[in-house]
Amino acid sequence: MDINTTLATQSYAKLRDLATADPQAAPTDHAFLKMAESFAQTLNRGEETARAAITGAADPHALVEALAAAETAVETVVTVRDKVVEAYQEILRMPV
């Protein structure tokens, strides 16, 4: 069996379950909320490490790691935002 067909079938089954779910039921998976919390924690960790480095409590290597993680998180969020805006604009261009 073709792998692409199998993956498409599995994806369809997952989406079918989501589409038929009770809209009044509380969502059990808060993926977006978890992602936002993770982003906030990454930024907070970077700020705490920067404060500690200024006072001499953290080594420069930890500061560079924290700032790199924060930079990667911000770049990821900006990329996702750009894709969402691009998709929204594409929807607006669709004829009704």
Instruction: Report yes or no: 42 and 73 within 8 Å, Cβ to Cβ.
Output: yes
Tokens representing 79? Answer: 């990329």
Q: What amino acid occupies position 21? A: A
Q: Using one digit for the tens of pLDDT, what is the confidence trace for 13-65?
A: 666 665 565 555 555 568 888 888 999 999 999 999 999 999 988 888 988 99
Number of CB atoms found within 10 A of residue 51's CB: 12
Reported pTM: 0.61
d(CA 21, CA 26): 10
Helix runs in 27-59, H state only: 31-55
